[in-house]
Structure 1
Amino acid sequence: MPHARISSGLLAALLAAAGGSALAAPGGGPDVSRHQPQIDKIVAEISPKRIETYIHKLVGFETRHTMSDTTSDTRGIGAARRWIKSELERCGAGTRLQVAFDSHIAPVSARISRPTEIVNVVATLPGTQDASKDRMYVVSGHYDSRNSDVMDAEGKAPGANDDASGTAAVMEMACVMAKHNFDATIVFMTVAAEEQGLLGATHWAEQARQNNLNIAGMFTNDIIGSSRGDDGRVDDKQVRLFAEALPATKENNDVNRMLLQTGGENDSISRQLARHVKEQGERYVKGFKVNVIQRRDRYLRGGDHMPFLERGFAALRFTEPNENFDHQHQNLRTENGKVYGDLPEFDDFNYIAKVARVNAAALASLALAPASPREVKLRTDKLENDSTLVWTPNAEPDVAGYRIVWRETTAPGWQGSLFVGNVTEATVKLSKDNYFFGVQAVDKDGNVSPATYPSPKR
């Protein structure tokens, strides 16, 4: 088995060159810090104007409540989903984008008063590399809306921010990215019945689990429309990215038990995905911060990423920095001079475009990169201050090698890295007691996978 051993002198030199904390970029491997021209092109093409047009069209259906009219061509959720599908088919014409409805009948429940057809609009861009095309990345927004009464299917519910903003971002990404090729598959999904209990996302996630789909990462964009908070503060330079550590289950599975035993609660697959999204998003969208919030969602609240988390997939939620609840789940009205309701005049279309660019950059980098290494282990068969990691080689033909990353136990993000070559074992002169480690796969173009946290190898 190929084995790289990294001397303490080399590590010291790398850390010194990086100021002791920044990610080191040693020679001998692909340049992982350079911009990929394809991703720059995608990010540049994301259009605030098109996003604005999409949002106004969605608001124009008056209500997109899950139990609203399905037969009208101008009003209700049926008209909305048919328009979304036709628009994705229009912009995807001549590309490999495959657009389809995904539907099921939801029975009567707490927020469904009669059996109701729930219809997701799913646009799939198949991967082009044989070794990667079964690996999938999913991005979603929910196109249903509501007003003050969650059961009111007739009253106006424009839903410009919640969640026409996320729906428009997903549509814009699909239309722009459909013109490009990626090794892995990307699924752009606008889902229904989020407001009635995450029903559309739950159905799709459950089907993915039953069919053993390889969902390597999922993002939902929900309430990404406004840069102005309820106190008037304007913050258009960051987005919140919610990332779960360990799930709140009655019993831990073997993976989560291992994370607890080794202090790796901050190294769940969703946290690893969040680190990657932050790094790539901030690389390609200059001056914009991806603020990773170490919670599954806002305090005791939820979204369409949660059905994916509950089925063992890595999943994240994007949300604006400061919500304004006067413009969420509110009947349209004016009281004491204050306007209530989720109207498009309270959206910031340039801000939505920035969030969409972060999504697109992260999705593109994931779908161009190799898969995260498998079966990564940290040797514990003898007492020593060195740390030896082993892993299974990737199947992709363009893998150039692997990179070990590390951070101190109190650090949220990776602080150091080292390309170790196309090997399956490497030793670094750092103590496993004092650092957390991960292993990333790197292809010949410098595309890097999210890190895999090692389990103990006894």
Structure 2
Amino acid sequence: MPHARLSRTLLAGLIAAAAGSAFAADAKAPDVTRHQADIDKIVSEISPKRIEAYVRKLVSFGTRHTMSDTTSDTRGIGAARRWIKSELERCGAGTRMQVAFDSYMDQGGPRISRPTELVNVVATLPGVQAESKERMYVVSGHYDSRVTDVMNFTDDAPGANDDASGTAAVMEMACVMAKHNFDATLVFMAVAGEEQGLLGANHYASEAKKNGWNIAGMLDNDIIGSSHADDGRKDDTQVRLFAQGVPPAKEMSDAMRTLVSTGGENDTISRQLARHIKEQGERYVKGFKVNVIYRTDRYLRGGDHSPFLSNGYAAVRFTEPNENFDHQHQDLRTVNGKVYGDLPEFNDYNYIAKVAKVNAATLASLALAPAVPQKVGARTDKLENDTTLVWEPNKEPDLAGYRIVWRETTAPFWQGAKFVGNVTEASLKLSKDNYFFGVQAVDKDGNVSPATYPMPKR
């Protein structure tokens, strides 16, 4: 496709020329495209073998149904969560990572037939920069499992893909990343109660909202285990990333109404997070595509990122490219030689590792970068063809300055960029009628934040 590549290159050059700057980074700007050595090291250490061992250990507990046995040391969700916690404590020994249970009593509902203690396993790696440590990035997988009947808590429910794959990926990330320092705080969670109605995630997200925690991004990994479709096709070259646009609220907030009225429905905080994930993931995991899907989740379905979205946080979901429903939410059985059930032999552990690497690269880049710029506005106090953006200054001591990014209104990802220095106002010779803009914060090492969409400012 040489002509297609040429046309995109020419387009970028023409847009940059119109903006009055070279498309390449300014000579004084930090290099935001170079690989960070620490991130390369983290990505290289993610191990398919360890991920497989984690999955098989989780499967060995027989069932991890939310209402299953909690007293046995070898079977049920109680044994599973105690093992997850002990394993995270073991691999985090000598590091700053703190591991704890996050529990509450659920009094029952449509999928909980009796009062049940729900327990999330939470490993927190505190940030080391005073100005950034209150900013948090959460990554999760759910460790509970189920069979065909969601209320069946006694039969074997191996849950190797749904969602031992996501739990194992999160555990592997935590163990590898615990040895590194980050400006902001990372939270690695194995969540309970997903199959019973996103209960564990809802508890954590609600507590975060109530306590005013600054969760700047949440990554949910659910069903990331298989590279094979139900028709036998193999695709280990991409992962789906579901990112919400306008929230499906009964009443739209003033801020969301302004976003929509200016055409920014594809510039919500979750879509901005998704753009960052795609850029960083594809940079550090060569030959692997992050396929951003403009939906909250799969059609009319949901996952543990949904409660975070409902509480106003940027949240996205990773899922394999093609689900095989013979190996999801199925009683274990063989019919006419066909095996049904979510068994570990149907996982692709090299594929899970690739998805984990994308997650790890993203989390590291976010936790090393400055916070997203705040109160970004586009001046509208006079009619002009130029675009002037303003924002509040960041507080990080290693801040180098700010980068304005833009794209045409029909383009999903950023097409142009200009580093404008450590200022709080900048103008471009591009019309706000014809382009979408964003402002990113950049530190002296070239770590760059996701973009913030500018709201009208008079």
TM-score clears 0.5: yes
SS in 1 for 2:391: strand
TM-score (norm 2): 0.96
Conserved 8 A contact 1:17-1:24:
no
Q: CA deviation at 1:336?
A: 1.0
The residue aligned with 2:295 is 295
In structure 2, runs of 5+ residues without a counterpart are 1-9
CA distance in 2 between counterparts of 1:50 and 1:27 reads: 43
Alignment match, 2:210: 210
Aligned equivalent of 2:149: 149
Deviation at 1:14, TM superposition (A): 7.8
Map 1:43-122 → 2, pairs under 5 A: 43-122=43-122
* Cα deviation, residue 18, structure 1: 7.3
CA offset at residue 309 of structure 1? 0.1
Give distance in 2, aligned partners of 1:14 and 1:116: 56
1:401 aligned residue: 401
1:17 is displaced (CA, Å) by 9.8
2:277 aligned with 1:277, yes or no? yes
TM-superposed CA distance for 1:16, in Å, is: 4.7
- Amino acid of the residue matched to residue 205 of structure 1? A
Q: TM-score, normalised by structure 1?
A: 0.96
2-structure distance, mates of 1:23, 1:412: 18
Cα distance in 1 for residues equivalent to 2:99 and 2:415:
41
**Counterpart in the other structure of 2:253:** 253
The correspondence of residues 34-433 of structure 1 with structure 2, limited to 5 A, is 34-433=34-433
Tell me if the contact between 1:68 and 1:77 (Cα under 8 Å) persists in the aligned partners: yes
Residues 205, 133 of structure 1: CA spacing in aligned structure 2 closer, same or farther, 3 A cutoff? same
Instruction: Give the superposition deviation at 1:20.
Output: 9.3
Letter in 2 for 1:133: K
> Residue 279 of structure 1: SS of its match in structure 2?
helix
State whether residues 23 and 414 of structure 1, in contact with CA within 8 Å, keep that contact through their aligned partners in structure 2: no
| 2:18 and 2:429 in contact (8 A); partners too | no
Question: Offset of 1:24 from its aligned partner?
Answer: 3.5
Deviation, structure 1 residue 107: 1.0
Q: Please give the alpha-carbon distance, in whole angstroms, between the structure 2 residues aligned to 1:172 and 1:103.
A: 23
Aligned match of 2:4: none
Alpha-carbon distance between aligned partners in 2 of 1:455 and 1:19, rounded to the nearest angstrom:
25
Instruction: Give the CA deviation at 1:176.
Output: 0.1
Offset from partner CA, 1:396-451 (integer Å, 9 cap, x none): 00000000000000000000000000000000000000000000000000000000
CA RMSD of aligned residues (A): 1.5
User: Secondary structure of 2:364's partner?
Assistant: helix
State the 1:260 CA deviation: 0.8
Quote the offset at 1:371 in angstroms: 0.2
CA contact (8 A) 1:69 1:75 kept: yes
Change (3 A) 1:19 1:351: farther
The Cα of 1:311 is off from its aligned counterpart by 0.4
> Structure 1: which amino acid aligns with 2:252?
N
Shift of the alpha carbon at 1:344? 0.3
- The 1-side partners of 2:23 and 2:247 are apart by 29
- CA–CA distance in 1 between the matches of 2:134 and 2:193? 28
Aligned amino acid, residue 354 of structure 1: K
* SS of structure 1 residue aligned to 2:38: helix
Deviations, residues 230-278 of structure 1 (Å, cap 9, x unaligned): 1111000000000000110111011210111100000000000000000
Tell me the CA shift for residue 315 of structure 1. 0.1
Residue in 2 aligned with 1:3?
Answer: none
Q: How many Å separate the matches in 2 of 1:305 and 1:16?
A: 39
Structure 1: which 5+ runs fail to align? 1-11
Give deviations 1:153-175, integer Å, cap 9, x for gaps: 00000000000000000000000
- Alpha-carbon offset, residue 26 of structure 1: 2.7
Match for residue 6 of structure 1?
A: none
Is this contact kept in 1: 2:17–2:23, CA < 8 A?
no
What displacement does 1:27 show? 1.8
Partner of 1:4: none
Contact 1:14 1:24 in 2 (8 A): no
Do the aligned partners of 2:407 and 2:415 also contact (CA within 8 Å) in 1? Answer: yes
- Tell me, in whole angstroms, the C-alpha distance in 1 between the residues paired with 2:386 and 2:157: 60
Q: Secondary structure at the match of 1:245?
A: coil
Cα drift, residue 327 of structure 1: 0.2
Q: Percent identity?
A: 77
Once residues 83 and 358 of structure 2 are traced to their aligned partners in structure 1, the CA distance between those partners, rounded to angstroms, is 26
Hey, what does 1:5 align to over in structure 2? none
